[in-house]
Amino acid sequence: MKKLILLLCSIILISCSDSQDGEPIDGVVLTVYPDRNNVLDYENYEGLSSLEECREKANMIIIENDYKNSDYECGTGCSKKNDYGDSIYFCKSTER
């Protein structure tokens, strides 16, 4: 019985750990929404050096892809968490 409890505890602890959990991101993170009414559809870009570079890249992506109803945000002080194969960014502040 003790071995079974130890095994179950080990499985729970291993499944909760994630080496990428809360990984800090250097620079600015850009999120582009091709359709501002659908926030589930987005593209992320990491490693931009400034808010100005982020805004320029966002406008370039929007123009190149001919997005008509798009939006974007630039996040600073971000960390990345992986959730079922998708990267989720948590930023201290976001700007347009």
pLDDT tens, position by position, 23-60 = 888 899 999 999 999 999 999 999 899 999 999 999 99
Q: Tell me: the pLDDT tens digits for 75-88?
A: 999 999 988 878 88
Task: Show me where the domains of the chain are located.
Answer: 20-95
Q: Outline where 1-96 has alpha helix (H).
A: 2-16, 51-64
